[in-house]
Structure 1
Amino acid sequence: MEDWDDYRLILSLARSGSLRAAAADMGLTHTTVSRRLAVLQDTRGLLFEKSPGGYAPTTLGSALIEVAERIESLTLAGQRHQRAADQDISGVITLSLPEAIAQYLLLEDLIEFSQVYPAIDLRVETSYRFVDLDRSEADVVVRGAQEPPEHLVGRRLFPNRVTYYGNRDYLNSTPEDELIWIAPNAESRTPGWLENSPYPNAPIGLAIDDITARHRALVMGLGLSRGACFMADPEPSLVRLTADAPDALQDIWVLTHPDLRDTPRIRVLMDFIVKAMTEKKALVSGDTGLRPA
């Protein structure tokens, strides 16, 4: 088996466990993937066994999966080195960052970057998942993390800080025993956040996992919420519920793969983001002077 596409098929099926998911991953039809797998198994032997839970690799399949992973790693490394060899401040950069940071902190800065460096094709993808730089899912990431992958390179900036907020009109018009909290879904909640809040006896009236939707519900006066200072403090309708210092969550990092660290267009983007974020440190840290009602 000399065709890398065959190894890609083996790897995709091993990771997804289904022909349909493997087909979507490879941009092929279910029929094409099914046919190619049948040909592979006719020529190479039984690689996968079908079960109610999906496709499970045989001993031979597992051995070829290891080979496929090594080939994939070498292929991705070659692609990164090829991109890194370009010394011009031009070309494509894929930037991955959380939607909230893109929308509330860096949107204007990213537009400015594109104006300052028109030869760079900046492609912004928003995600809260820590994308895989080894697999070239992005070139640069901005993420909150306690301990990002050790081999990545870049800058640790400062913690993202949060505290408790309410809409001023909602607080003035709602009796204390009728206040409710807007919270993330249970698996995303910080332990002790409700017990340590100014209203520990208020129930959770609405669970919204999306941080921007939760913020909009807070601004609309649909309940109380624990939110990021950089999102809530600029809102004139919101007030803090406590005079305590905001809580520090994960540190914000700007990172890239070590193979790309010396690529000029990567360096200018990372430097630009670090500068823009540093200028907003007081906002992110909750030091903008906003006080509780």
Structure 2
Amino acid sequence: MKDWDDYRLILALARTGTLRMAAHALGMTHTTVSRRLSIIEDARGALFERQPGGYRPTPLGDALIDVAGRMESLTQAGARYEQAVEQDLVGVVTLSLPEPVAQYLLLEDLFKLAEAFPKIELRVNTSVRFVDLDRLEADVVVRGTQHPPEHLVGRRLYPTHITYYGNRDYLASTPPDQLRWIAPSSAGMRPDWLEMSPYPNAPVALLSDDIVARHHALVRGLGLARGACFMADPEPDLIRLTNEAPIPQQDFWVLTHPDLRHTPRVRAVMDFMVRAMKEKEDLVRGHKPQRK
């Protein structure tokens, strides 16, 4: 095969396993992918076996998929190098950060960043997933993690902190034996932190892995919850349930791909994010006067 688009097609099918998912990944229709695969296999031989669970590569398919993967890596490296040689503070920078950080910690700073560098087209991607910088899914990430990919470069900042919170009206109007917790789904109905909480005998009433939804439920007085200090402390209706120091969690990092570290517009965005995050350190660590 001489056409990179053909390699992209077989690579997408190998990764997704179905024509429908491959078509979605490529931005094509199911019919187009099916027709192009037939043309490729008519010319090269069978690349995939059709099975009830999807498409499985043949030995020839595996060989061409390996070639396609190497071609993709070279193409991505070329794209990164093209970005790296651009010396002006002009162009697109894609910034990836978790939705709670974008909404509750850095929202105003994102607008300040856009104002400070009007020729940089800032594209903000909010995702709980650590996006793939090798594949140019983002240029800069702000992320809480203990183990970022080792090849990425940037700054390690400080850990996010959490503690226990409740809505003051909910606490005042709810008998202790009727208090309920809101917890992440991954923690289950008996999370390990419950025994150490101020109300270890209160059951979990709601499980959700959506941190923003849990925060809204907490603010509305639908239950008690462990929350990030930077989200909960500014809320006038929330109070801490304990005088114990907040608990450190994952460290915040500001990272980029090493191929982009010296690109001026990427460097400008990284430096701005580092400064903005440092200004928020006391809030993130939970260093604040306790409301009464």
SS of aligned partner of 1:195: helix
Following the alignment from structure 2 to structure 1, what is the Cα–Cα distance between the partners of residues 35 and 199?
61
- The answer to whether residue 141 in structure 2 is matched with residue 149 in structure 1 is no
AA at the equivalent of 1:101:
V
AA at the equivalent of 2:3:
D
SS of aligned partner of 1:2: coil
> 8 Å contact 1:230–1:283 — kept in the other structure?
yes
Deviation by residue 1:51-97 (Cα, 9 ceiling, x = unmatched)? 11111111111111111110000000000000111000010001010
Q: CA, structure 1 residues 96+77, in 2 after alignment: closer, same or farther (shift >3 Å)? A: same
SS of aligned partner of 1:60: helix
AA at the equivalent of 2:229:
C
AA at the equivalent of 2:277:
M
Gaps of 5+ in 1: none
> Partner residue of 1:134?
134
> 8 Å contact 2:188–2:207 — kept in the other structure?
no
Following the alignment from structure 1 to structure 2, what is the Cα–Cα distance between the partners of residues 69 and 195?
48
Residue 186 (structure 1) shift? 3.0
> 8 Å contact 1:157–1:253 — kept in the other structure?
yes
Matches for 1:1-293 after TM superposition, within 5 Å: 1-186=1-186, 192-290=192-290
> 8 Å contact 2:165–2:239 — kept in the other structure?
yes
> 8 Å contact 2:189–2:204 — kept in the other structure?
no
SS of aligned partner of 2:194: coil
SS of aligned partner of 2:195: coil
Following the alignment from structure 2 to structure 1, what is the Cα–Cα distance between the partners of residues 285 and 94?
27
Q: CA, structure 1 residues 102+235, in 2 after alignment: closer, same or farther (shift >3 Å)? A: same
Gaps of 5+ in 2: none
Deviation by residue 1:136-191 (Cα, 9 ceiling, x = unmatched)? 00000011100100000000100011000000010010000000001111358995
- Cα RMSD between the aligned structures? 1.3
Deviation by residue 1:185-215 (Cα, 9 ceiling, x = unmatched)? 1358995211211111111101122111110
Deviation by residue 1:106-139 (Cα, 9 ceiling, x = unmatched)? 1101101111110000000100100000000000
> 8 Å contact 2:190–2:204 — kept in the other structure?
no
Q: Give TM-score scaled by structure 1 length.
A: 0.97
Q: Which moved more, 1:117-126 or 1:194-203?
A: 194-203
The percent of aligned pairs where both chains have the same amino acid is 67
SS of aligned partner of 2:141: strand
AA at the equivalent of 1:179:
L
Deviation by residue 1:19-55 (Cα, 9 ceiling, x = unmatched)? 0110011111100000011111111111111111111
> 8 Å contact 1:188–1:209 — kept in the other structure?
no
AA at the equivalent of 1:234:
P
SS of aligned partner of 1:169: helix
> 8 Å contact 1:164–1:197 — kept in the other structure?
yes
Q: CA, structure 1 residues 42+64, in 2 after alignment: closer, same or farther (shift >3 Å)? A: same
> 8 Å contact 1:161–1:286 — kept in the other structure?
yes
AA at the equivalent of 2:120:
I
> 8 Å contact 2:18–2:55 — kept in the other structure?
yes
SS of aligned partner of 1:28: coil
> 8 Å contact 2:153–2:257 — kept in the other structure?
yes
> 8 Å contact 2:90–2:119 — kept in the other structure?
yes
